[in-house]
Amino acid sequence: TVVNSRRSCFSNRSWEALDLLDAGDIDIAFITQHNKRSGGRRVHRTPLVWACSKQTNVHLRQPLPLAIFGVGCIYRKAALAALDKRGIGYRLAYESPSRSGLECAVEAGLAVTIIAKDLVPPNLCVLPTGNAGLPSLPVLNTYLFTGPSSRSPGVKATLDCIVESVRT
């Protein structure tokens, strides 16, 4: 998510948000992918989990059907690396740039997805990991990056609100 004093708030991929920040087009970048860039402030940590509809056993299908973000997304990289490491076959059943699109496919029982544990909606269930289930997934770190305008009162107030709302 990126915040701009002229355009309000909108969503981009992490690396796109950092490019916009560098160009001076945005004031704040709230990202889930650090890219070894200095200057960001980690504001949240949450484990990634596997989730599926409560009304299905789609997680038992082989190959495992996945609803997943596009190429370059940290969620996608984590999911595919974990499955490959355990030798679990999968197929990309649905790909979307939006979380709501993925949740629709998963809720319909078409696939399993990967999601931050604190964002799992009530209509989905978290699947077991380890020996009894799917492979474990990493912890997701969320960072705030700011541009030169971060000293303005409006941007400072927005930063304070973001930090308070995601504090763990």
At 1 the pLDDT is 45
Helix, strand counts (H, E) of the chain: 4, 9
At 11 the pLDDT is 55
Other CB atoms closer than 10 Å to residue 150's CB: what's the count? 14
At 108 the pLDDT is 96
Written as six digits, the tokens of 73 are 């997304």
CA neighbours closer than 13 Å in the CB half-sphere of residue 108: 12
Residues found in the chain: 168
Residue 148, CA distances (Å) to 1, 12, 21 in order: 18, 20, 9
Distance between CA atoms of residues 65 and 41, nearest Å: 35
At 9 the pLDDT is 46
Tell me the three state secondary structure of residue 121. Answer: coil
What are the residues whose beta carbons fall under 8 Å from the beta carbon of 24, sequence distance 6 or more? 147, 148
At 34 the pLDDT is 58
Q: What letter does residue 135 receive in the DSSP assignment?
A: P
What are the residues whose beta carbons fall under 8 Å from the beta carbon of 39, sequence distance 6 or more? 145
At 35 the pLDDT is 61
Other CB atoms closer than 10 Å to residue 108's CB: what's the count? 14
At 160 the pLDDT is 81
Instruction: Give pLDDT tens digits along the chain (168 positions).
Output: 444 444 444 456 676 788 888 888 888 888 876 567 777 888 889 999 999 999 999 999 999 999 999 998 889 999 999 999 999 999 999 999 888 999 999 999 999 999 999 999 999 999 999 887 899 999 988 888 887 766 778 877 887 887 788 765
In one-letter notation, the amino acid at residue 48 is: L
Residue 11, CA distances (Å) to 99, 163, 167 in order: 11, 17, 20
At 154 the pLDDT is 80
